[in-house]
Amino acid sequence: MKALPTIPPPLRGLLAGARRTRHAVPKIITSIPALAAFLILVAATFSLISLGTFQWPPTTSSSSPLSGAAPCDLTRGRWVRDPSVQPYYTNATCAFIEGYQNCMKHGRPSLEFLQWRWRPAGGAGCDDGDLPRFDAARFFELLRGKSILFVGDSLASSHVRSLVCTLSQVEPPARSPAAGGFERWRFPAHGLTVTFFWTPFQVRWRLTRGPPEPVGPDRQGEVFAGPSDIHLDEPDPRWLPAAAREHDVVVVSASHWFARPAVHYRRAAAAGRDGAASSNATAAARLTPEQAQRAAFRTVLRGLAGMEGWEGTAVLRTVAPTHYENGGWFDGGECTATEPADPEDPVPEMAGTEREFYRAQVEEFAAAEEEVERRSGVRMRLMDVTGMMLRRPDGHPDRYGHGGGEHEGFDIDCLHWCLPGAIDVWNELLLQILAGR
């Protein structure tokens, strides 16, 4: 029987307290023989628990541990200051940065947030020192004649733009107008195509009071206000499986939108609702955002794992936490940190919903990975960025993600990330994953 996976120590703090309950205090054991028997039972139980250590497999390595040593996990480590490091690109050298990501354009007063490198904690097969810098030539070599598809929300858009901006320093891409929701950048000299498909839920969905078909990123505001109809057990036919099958690598993400008002469907019938009223769901039980997100990821990941004839690589990028303090999106929340969290401090707290989103992603990935093991072809890879990004409260735009009055009350952004910035590390990890680390 396959051993169950466990949560790496740095991320146990993310999940601690997720399901805390109060326990009654046991009565004091006054009998000496009873006490001795009790202690023996406790010792035996502890031994059994110790033998069954619970650990998630390394997120950036598919190789087996060497001589029983801890495997290389590039996502465990700390941020170290490096004043000599230069960004891969700037808003002057890349024209693809969107306004809400363009902290340089909007006058962020300090660029010290760019002077940090990720240093893995180590393990068998890990190199000493920092995570290797992104090597565009190596990336082009690995994906020559291939294509990579990113599927997700605005954070996925930031991820793909970070990659395109970095690669564009070697070869300027030809950008195709968005057609059918797909935005493409082609690097003809290297035979590489990078594609982005915007979908906040990844499964089939539409605006409840909108058109019968899903809308595009130009109507994000309407989707944000919602409610949306989300079919949790149906892949979005616009990208899965037809479009996904055309790509060699598919990177999926997106979780935050599940906290928005929605009516949830299973088998074409209303299964529940969250913050939304609908005539065909008035009697349905409430589904939490965490339950809906878990069901959607189960559909997407198993859909990728079960694509007949596809021999590509499916990558799941985990939740990138927000860092709002003293409030939230529209009620005065802010993120004023000027450097990463101190590595000597405990792992910072993560919002309860995001913590459950992360738990669901990792667990559903493990389940899909088991399915893949029973068939050949598809490769499943987990890119766990949650722990490292939790320690980067300084990487958000804060009030420098837009000009004055541009966001209609959404003045402070502690959800998205500056470009260039902390999330450029995602492509350093992606390169290592695709290279087989």
Which pLDDT tens digit goes with each residue over 321-361? 999 998 877 777 899 999 999 988 888 888 889 999 999 99
Q: What percent of the chain has pLDDT over 70?
A: 77
pLDDT value at position 407?
58
As a whole number of angstroms, the distance between CA 211 and CA 303 comes to 26
CB contact at 8 A, 130 and 85: no
φ/ψ of residue 413, rounded to 5: -115, 105
As a whole number of angstroms, the distance between CA 224 and CA 295 comes to 20
* Of the listed ranges 83-92, 145-154, 396-405, the one predicted with least confidence: 396-405
* Of the listed ranges 32-46, 141-155, 214-228, 265-279, the one predicted with least confidence: 32-46
Residue 65 structure tokens: 């541990």
Concatenated DSSP letters of 356-384: HHHHHHHHHHHHHHHHHHTSSS-EEEEE-
pLDDT value at position 316?
98
* Rg over CA atoms, the chain: 23
Alpha carbons within 13 angstroms on the beta-carbon side of residue 388 total 28
* Residues identified as active-site: 154, 413, 416
Residue corresponding to tokens 């007949």: 308
φ/ψ of residue 367, rounded to 5: -65, -40
Per-residue pLDDT of 101-159, as tens digits, reads 999 999 998 999 999 999 998 655 566 678 999 999 999 999 999 999 999 999 999 99
**Helix H or strand E encompassing 119:** strand 116-120
The predicted model gives 265-291 an average pLDDT of 72
CB contact at 8 A, 193 and 167: no
CA distances from 229 to 158, 206, 277, 347 (A): 26, 5, 11, 36
Of the candidates 271, 383, 266, 376, the one whose C-alpha atom is nearest the C-alpha of residue 317 is 383
As a whole number of angstroms, the distance between CA 59 and CA 418 comes to 25
The predicted model gives 78-107 an average pLDDT of 94
Q: What percent of the chain has pLDDT over 90?
A: 61
As a whole number of angstroms, the distance between CA 47 and CA 242 comes to 50
Among positive and negative, which fits the CA dihedral 64, 141, 306, 268?
positive
Strand partners, 325: 334
pLDDT value at position 284?
56
CB contact at 8 A, 72 and 374: no
Per-residue pLDDT of 221-250, as tens digits, reads 899 988 999 999 999 999 999 999 999 999
pLDDT of 370 over the 60 cut: yes
As a whole number of angstroms, the distance between CA 152 and CA 254 comes to 5
pTM, 2 dp: 0.82
As a whole number of angstroms, the distance between CA 145 and CA 188 comes to 9
Residue 32 structure tokens: 């000496």
The predicted model gives 197-220 an average pLDDT of 94
